[in-house]
A and B are shown apart, each in its own frame.
Chain A
Amino acid sequence: MKNFREVLESGEFTITAECGPPKGTDIKEMLEHARHLLGKIHGINVTDNQSAVMRIASLPVCRLLHEMGHDPILQMTCRDRNRLALQSDLLGAYILGIRNVLCMTGDHVSAGDHKSAKTVYDIESVQLLRVVDGLNHGKDMAGNDLKGPTKLFPGAVVTPESNPIEPQLIKFEKKIKAGARFFQTQAIYDIPKFRKFMKVARNFDVKILAGILLLKNAGMANYLNKFVPGITVPESLIEELKAAGKEEALDKGIDIAARQIRELKDDKVCDGVHIMAIGLENKVPIIMEKAGLL
């Protein structure tokens, strides 16, 4: 079976999903969700203390999912670890069979549940990409030779709806220069706008997976618009969710996600999608089926 990197590089439409480790040691539900996705998706992201909320670390969960048969994508933020810790974790990830790493700066601790924590940010996303490139070439950040290099597939994130967009695009280019081979985008809902972003992105030799975040109801859409920078749900979609009524809102959200994925795939807008269902991972196969991917 082809792994995430091979599928993506072969030009096949690539599907990734997400696994958010729980706060605490009961991982039954997490594993169940992951098992449900086995054989259906090409890669699975494991989040790294997402939203600065303390949970099980990404690395051991990646390993468990790897044992299960998934090809995990290790999300790695720079918020909680300095350059020594980041590098040693990357080496550790490699020897545990993890091959993909998504380099991120990470949400600020003020967003999370340990607000008095010290933020680290010794380095940041662009620099972390360079670190991965260095380790892949047998060198650590200080220029020392490694006894055995890594062979990690480095990815990054981009926010196509960032406002203003120009500085975001400059950073996007820097990430590519620093070694990013694939991008998973922040959630997008406005496909025409995303197409415009893709016009720019297509000037570069990188793979783009569009972020598809399942809308559970109109309330969630409004919340995203109000509180999550870089995500805009168009009014027309909110109307659709409202019209569906409370009971049917989730089904409508699934329809919307499936419809958008189908459009992205049929028109070859991007190279794949990253489906985020936040706690409703069991709906991911349904979305995929409706999108004609299964």
Chain B
Amino acid sequence: MIISKQKDMEEILNFLKGGKSFFLLGCSECAALCGTGDDKALNEMEEKLAKSGKKTIGKFVAKIGCQVLGTKIELKPFKEAIDEADAILVMSCGAGTQAMVEVYPDKEVYSLNDTLFLGNMTRFRQFDERCSLCGECILDKTGGICPVTLCPKGLLNGPCGGTNNGKCEVSPDLECAWVRIYERLKRIGQLDKMKEILEPKDYSKHFKPSALKAKKDEKK
């Protein structure tokens, strides 16, 4: 899932300076799980805005905020409020915000969240990054543990000299990804894989902006 975190109110109020009334849009997927785009988050935001004299004239939690067409249809009943609002305030990820820009090209749209990373919820509301979307997955060679993401240097061929009793030199709070990979490969009988030299990554696979036209299901 995409992990997001609400911005500081100070920063939000700063870019909302000109506006008085707003439409709040959340998302029931990742942002809801992060507590940044569910009903509760929207209600709390409404209160905070009210305290600064700003009015919420409509709010809605989209099913999948980054699904542009679906969200556009879902928002039809809110046309009036959205038209009236000075801006749409999106409480999901950066993609959700930009979906709104596509749907409402003439409207001001702001993101109230910072979008952080792609990760797992490892405990309740504890999120840990797991994938950097590198475009050429090497998990088959590393025992299913991603060094591109979990090693701060993104090393592909084993631990650096700073590895420290299983911890990472960059922070004692981090486990050394390469010690984990080593142990995992050993456990599953694939230590030979670690002896293979992995080639430099092909960053053309990570070209921005990426696009993908996935195969459509055949019509029945």
**Chain A residues engaging chain B, CB cutoff 8 angstroms:** 79, 83, 105, 107-108, 110-111, 119, 121-127, 130, 141, 157-159, 162-164, 166-168, 170-171, 173-174, 177-178, 186, 229-230
- Would you call B182 and A126 a contact (CB within 8 A)? no
- Are A121 and B155 CB-contacts (below 8 A) given A108-B170, A130-B197, A167-B194? yes
Q: How far is the CA of A63 from the CA of B27 in the complex (A)?
A: 59
Count of residues in B whose CB is under 8 Å from the partner chain: 29
Contact of B153 among A119, A126, A141, A167 (CB under 8 A): A119
> 19 A-B pairs, CB-CB below 8 angstroms?
A108-B153, A111-B170, A121-B155, A122-B203, A124-B155, A127-B156, A130-B197, A158-B161, A162-B161, A163-B163, A163-B164, A163-B165, A164-B166, A164-B179, A167-B159, A167-B179, A170-B191, A173-B195, A174-B195
Name the residue on B nearest A110 (C-beta): B170
B188 to chain A, nearest CB (A): 15
Q: How far is the CA of A164 from the CA of B201 in the complex (A)?
A: 27
Q: Does B154 contact A (CB under 8 A)?
A: yes
- Are A171 and B157 CB-contacts (below 8 A) given A108-B170, A163-B165, A164-B166? yes
Q: How far is the CA of A105 from the CA of B161 in the complex (A)?
A: 9
Residues of A within 8 A of B70 (CB): none
Name the residue on B nearest A157 (C-beta): B161
- Would you call A170 and B195 a contact (CB within 8 A)? yes
Task: Kindly list 9 other residue pairs between chains A and B, CB separation below 8 angstroms, not including A122-B200, A167-B178, A174-B157.
Answer: A108-B153, A124-B153, A124-B154, A126-B158, A127-B199, A127-B200, A167-B182, A229-B164, A229-B165
Q: How far is the CA of A248 from the CA of B161 in the complex (A)?
A: 32
Name the residue on A nearest B161 (C-beta): A159
Q: Does B135 contact A (CB under 8 A)?
A: no
Contact of B159 among A107, A110, A171 (CB under 8 A): A171
Q: How far is the CA of A230 from the CA of B167 in the complex (A)?
A: 12
Q: How far is the CA of A229 from the CA of B178 in the complex (A)?
A: 15
Q: Does B74 contact A (CB under 8 A)?
A: no
